Chain A
Amino acid sequence: MSETKDYVIKVNDVSKDYGKFHALESMSFTVPKGSIYGLVGRNGAGKTTIMRIISGLQKPTSGTVDYGFDHKKLGNVGALVELPSIYSNQTARENLVYQYINLGLKIDDSIEKSLQFVGLGNTGSKKAGKFSLGMRQRLGIAMAMSGNPEVLILDEPINGLDPQGIIQIRDLLIKLNKEKGITIIISSHILSELSKLATDFAFVDGGKVVKEIKAEDLENAGGLETEFYSGTPERLIPVLNAKGLTATYNSETGVVCAKGYYNLTDVVLAANDAGANIARVVTKETDLETYFVKLVGGESNA
């Protein structure tokens, strides 16, 4: 009987050297099952290297990677590292057929379903080489998830995409995670997007993980901070607390400070119902980028 593990990937003191260059130095982190695990770090921090090692493309110089599942079973690891690996002279369907053969899967209507799932159901005979970058990324994801993988490893999947493409990929990944329960390891330079996706973060710097944090902890560590200017703080504070915010009143400045995320319309309507007035709202967000800069120092070029 196989042991059920609460993680999908456990990286233990993994180092990787390229000659004299140390790409990774004793990197360790654990990817919880069912999470969307965001890797945040500067260029050259080691994100791609560790993703290549996890996906089996490279071997570590030292250290080990433990898998919480049978990673040797074909298709149990899906990955989109660097660029989508697709035949540019074939259609989306044909690319999936190849991937199915690659994984030893039965070629059936699940191919069409996969294409529909990633929004490429109507590409017909169009060759993948003529796809937009977003379409290529989505096809790459469709191929990566063909074997119904335990973990999906995505290196910069939204790089170079237009805003609509970013939204499509984000929605797709959330759908994969929620509906199919696939654990996702993702890196991105666009931290605002990563913060909308990831449930867990690892901050990578100099080839090692300097901090692992859950999204809610990150929120608590900074998150959204709002200053409410109100003449009736005693009425406003209960309203804010009722909305799940942590509200405090500063008698010196006369400002109600609230931590956490909220829907402004809901708060304003609730305040109105409670007889509280709000003259002005100033928001200060300690976002992922700010947190990252604070953590590793210098400017963010994650």
Chain B
Amino acid sequence: MLKLILFELRRISKSVFFWIVAAYSFVWPVITAFFYRAIMSLNLDNGIKFEAVDLPQSEVLYLTWMISVAFMTELPKFTALFTCLHIGRDYTDGIIRNKIIAGHSRGSIYFSYMITQIIASIVLCIIYIFSAIFGLAVSGIGIDLNGGEMFGRFAVAIVVFLVMTVTFVVLATIFRRRAVPVILCIIIAMTSNAAAAVIGNFNTPTKACKDYLNIRNEHYENLADAGLVDDEIVEELEEKYGKDHFLGIGWKIVHPAYVISPMGFEGDYAAGGITSIATGGNVEYADEIDFAQQFYYSDESQFTLLSSMNGGESLTELDADDLFLTLNSFKKVDSLHLKYSTLNWIYVGKSAIWIAVLTAYGFIVFRRKNLF
């Protein structure tokens, strides 16, 4: 198999398309860094002026992460095309027949494609990350890698990215008609960002949901005991904020996809950049995911409901602690907090399983199908 790996690596190194993608991976993050620098320093108060920026360290930290990890959204379309065209050429030019006739096993051929495409993807990701760091430095935004911890998350991001690469390799190797994998891979690459954004919004562990709702319902009971609301309203609230209604059908459908796939990465790690900001995701570079905060901010209705229940009485006249739940109410609930150090392993594990399953599936089909 080493011979085939050398064969494929030589082809990749001589591929014009690969070097175009590599050049893109180098140039684009630098442009992105300068773009953010320009946006942040733009002052339109008195005409168009660019002013010096002095970002707080927390923003530098987040921008370092967001711009560097953007390969997750920028590279899939290119790797999809590259993988399909690269492997597809072996089919169209009949080279795959040469390899079999020469005496290589189908397994060796398949895994040589897999290994070399994975290497190519890792190289592109690393180019992107280091180019982003270079761009952040030269643009004046600055760099904060959280004491090197960020490299751990980059590694996780690359492993998650490889699930996509493996998917493209599998599709490129199991279809005899060469146009099919190209179309499928491009569709997957283009829709993956949207899918990741949707799936990332349903990232709450089941236990966290249960704990959150229990605490809320307990709080309604307390409100009723205090005479602030009557039992009928409590019943209405409990039903309205019951698991089925509160979480909605989307959670029931999409949450399983979140649990079994690594597609929630962008949401969990705030890696979607603009997507994360637009969808109201966590846009900080945090040490942990605070699910209570996510619930709390998305649950604006608790304020207006309780306000109307009190007949429009000024809320400032009431004791806010009696009426509302605060983030402190959930602070000590373990299920509502997830450390990234733990999440890293969850994503590496999920991705490894997917890579193994997809690779095995592709291998079985590649061996059994008459593709040559």
Contacts and interface: CB of A to CB of B under 8 A. Distances in A.
Interface of A: 55-58, 71-79, 81-89, 98-99, 101-104, 143-144, 147, 153
Sorted nearest first, the 10 A-B pairs with minimum C-beta distance are: A85-B94, A85-B98, A74-B103, A79-B101, A104-B3, A101-B7, A55-B101, A85-B97, A57-B372, A102-B102
Contact of A83 (B4, B94, B370): B94
Contact of B93 (A77, A82, A86, A153): A86
B95 interface: yes
Contacts of A103: 3, 102
Contacts of B77: none
A99 B11 CA distance: 12
14 contacts: A55-B101, A74-B3, A77-B103, A78-B101, A79-B97, A84-B94, A85-B93, A85-B97, A89-B89, A101-B7, A101-B10, A102-B4, A103-B3, A104-B3
A72 B103 contact: yes
B119 interface: no
Nearest to A88: B93
Interface SS of A by simple majority: loop
Contact of A74 (B89, B104, B372): B104
Interface of B: 3-4, 6-7, 10-11, 89, 93-95, 97-104, 370, 372
A57 B97 contact: yes
A159 to B, nearest CB: 15
Contacts of A74: 3, 102-104
A82 B97 CA distance: 10
A102 B99 contact: yes
A87 B89 contact: yes
Interface SS of B by simple majority: helix
Given A98-B7, A104-B3, A57 B101 contact: yes
Nearest to A86: B93
Contacts of B94: 82-86
Contact of A77 (B4, B10, B11, B101): B101
A82 B93 CA distance: 12
Given A98-B11, A101-B7, A102-B4, A75 B97 contact: no
Contacts of B372: 57
Contacts of A58: 370
A74 B4 CA distance: 12
Nearest to A58: B370
Contact of A73 (B93, B99, B103): B103
A144 B101 CA distance: 9
Contacts of B99: 102
Contact of A71 (B4, B11, B89, B103): B103
Contacts of A143: 98
B104 A85 contact: no
B6 to A, nearest CB: 6
A57 B100 contact: yes
Given A57-B101, A75-B102, A102-B98, 10 more contacts: A57-B372, A71-B103, A76-B103, A77-B103, A82-B94, A84-B94, A85-B95, A87-B93, A102-B4, A143-B98
A120 B63 CA distance: 57
A182 to B, nearest CB: 15
B102 A147 contact: yes
A163 B368 CA distance: 41
A72 B93 CA distance: 24
Contacts of A101: 3, 6-7, 10
A88 B11 CA distance: 13
B365 to A, nearest CB: 16
A103 B3 CA distance: 7
A212 to B, nearest CB: 24
A82 B370 CA distance: 15
- Most chain B CB within a 10 A radius of its CB, from A73, A86, A101, A144: A101
B3 A56 contact: no
B269 to A, nearest CB: 40
Contacts of A86: 93-95
